[in-house]
Amino acid sequence: MVANVVLKKVVLPNGEKIAYREREGGEDIVVLVHGNMTSSVHWDLVIENLSDRYKVYAMDMRGFGGSSYNKQITAIKDFSDDLKLWLDAVGIKDFVLVGWSTGGCVSMQFCMDY
């Protein structure tokens, strides 16, 4: 595990429990969304090498890593909606969103919807 990263979980209003990594830093917030068949662990090297001017969050999408999978995913929008609920639950408002692979699709869907 990357130094200075705290593992946390939050329960969303839809009943899913989302696990995420949080690294303290400055006021500029970066949110990382992983790809398919991985988890927030995918971002360890990125988190480790980002300047400490950034506060960094990396979530485990529903069904990956430490997150629950209570309701079946049927579309990318399901992940995007989870992302919105998670951001609201954690209180993240002004941020840069970075997605890789499936996480890139989720990030684009999020930007279209929200």
Q: Is residue 1 scored above 90 in pLDDT?
A: no
Nearest CA-CA partner of 61 in 35, 23, 92, 29: 35
Entry pTM:
0.95
The CATH code of the domain at 5-113 is 3.40.50.1820
DSSP code at position 23: E
What is the domain partition of the chain in residue ranges? 5-113
Cβ atoms of residues 62 and 82 within 8 Å: yes
Summarize pLDDT for 58-101 with one digit per residue, the tens.
999 999 999 999 999 999 999 999 999 999 999 999 999 999 99
DSSP 48-88: HHS-TTEEEEEEPPTTSTT----S---SHHHHHHHHHHHHH
